[in-house]
Amino acid sequence: MNTSISKVSDIPTSGVIACQGTVGAYSQIAARRLFPDGTFIYFKNFDAVARAVREGMCDFGVLPIENNTFGSVKQVYQLLGRQDISIVRSYKLKIEHQLLAKPGTALKDITSVRSHEQALGQCEQFLHSLGDKVAQIPCLNTAVAARTVAESDDPYCAAISSPECAALYGLEVVKKKIADSNHNYTRFLCIAKKPLLYPGASRISLILSLPHVPGSLAAVLDRFSASGINLLKLESTPIPGRDFEFSFYIDIEGSVEDPRVEQILDDLRNTCPEFRFLGCYLEEVPE
């Protein structure tokens, strides 16, 4: 096992936790599931969350990484590539989007809908059904959207947000279950300053770049396959300052305590132009 990883026997339920957004945001809901006894501090953007963890202001941070219907959160992939942080846990949260508005507002009267771009994308069919007269306005996150509607003088604006935000901001539910899919989940990452290995950790995340020659990616994938290691995710992202060159975000199923995995990681570390081990971490499944 990589000696730089600290093996921890107890999974924490408390700490100072960094979240993007505000109370009621899905990141905060996921963080509360991971840390039921935690103290939460809210930041404007994902970079600020990572910086708070890296600089020791917070013990952990929680960031969305992908949604099973609308895809990856690109900003977080890019952040993982440039920030010195580690993934230690992940959590899959079922997303329950609802349309919220001021008390008394009818669906037919709504002229604008605010939410995070991911939430707008996850409710594309519902929004299309409202017609072209309804403007879609991106916000920092779903909770900020709900708070903005609550504070607005416009009686005909609405927000796509969580059920929790209706009570938090004094809004009414105009329509429930508006996501395109009833099976709508977002996976959140829990980050820490240093790598930690909790009991049951079975997912590994890496970022690497490869020689710009034919077959370089196929050769890496073949090595995983030949060792019986399951590839869970492969995502490419542009390398800043280079023309159409990409680094790869790779998730594999396995543990750093497995000699097969350890051997491949060592080989990749020694042969790839860029190699970053992001963590071997615990995937937590909602009840």
Instruction: Indicate which residues carry an active-site annotation.
Output: 186, 188
In single-letter form, the type of residue at position 35 comes to: F
Q: Which amino acid type is present at position 238?
A: P
Give the SS3 label for residue 224. helix
C-alpha 238/C-alpha 107 separation (Å) is 41
> Which letter does DSSP use for residue 127 in this model?
H
DSSP 132: T
Dihedral over Cα of 22, 47, 140, 92: its sign:
negative
What is the three-class DSSP state of 223? helix
Element (H or E) spanning 217, and its range?
Answer: helix 216-226
Distance of alpha carbon 194 from alpha carbon 198, whole angstroms: 13
- Per DSSP, helices labelled H in 72-215 are 74-82, 117-122, 124-130, 142-151, 163-168
The CA-based angle 282-18-197, given to 5 degrees, is 25
